């Protein structure tokens, strides 16, 4: 897969994670999150796949976001590091800070899944 094809595919998948319907779907999230997925959130908390899926299924205050500064660094044929920004945004209740994001994507059985994700707030 060429880098531009890989970048397009992974960007589509990262964008899917910003879709409220995808986030609430256990089936969709199971397809995207690797069985050994873990996340270090912008809050500094560590989340397992099971915890993230529970939280997203119950999420009722999600604020859609845009992805900027998207970049893909291939780490071989079956690994890629994705980095991007989520700009600060205003909700009805409060202001959400911006964050720097990174995801480690792995390809197993012909399918790309997120193995690790980290968010870091910025001002």
Q: Are 65 and 89 in contact (CB under 8 A)?
A: yes
pLDDT per residue over 24-62, tens digit each?
999 999 999 999 999 999 888 999 999 999 999 888 878
Domain range list for the chain: 3-122
Fold classification of 3-122 (topology level)? Nuclear Transport Factor 2; Chain: A, (3.10.450)
Single pTM value for the model: 0.90
Res. 1 pLDDT band, cuts 50 70 90: low
Token output for 62: 């999600």
Alpha-carbon gap, residue 80 to 76, rounded angstroms: 7
What pLDDT sits at residue 96?
Answer: 81
């Amino acid at each position: 897969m060429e880098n531009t094809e890989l970048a397009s595919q992974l960007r589509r998948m990262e964008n899917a994670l910003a879709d409220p319907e995808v986030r609430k779907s256990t089936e969709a999230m199971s397809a995207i999150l690797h069985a050994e997925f873990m996340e270090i959130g912008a809050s500094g908390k560590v989340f397992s796949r099971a915890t993230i899926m529970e939280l997203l299924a119950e999420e009722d205050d999600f604020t859609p976001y845009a992805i900027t500064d998207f970049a893909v660094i291939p780490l071989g044929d079956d690994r890629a590091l994705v980095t991007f920004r989520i700009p600060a945004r205003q909700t009805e209740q409060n202001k959400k800070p911006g964050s720097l994001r990174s995801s480690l994507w792995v390809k197993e059985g012909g399918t790309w899944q997120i193995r690790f994700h980290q968010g870091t707030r910025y001002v």
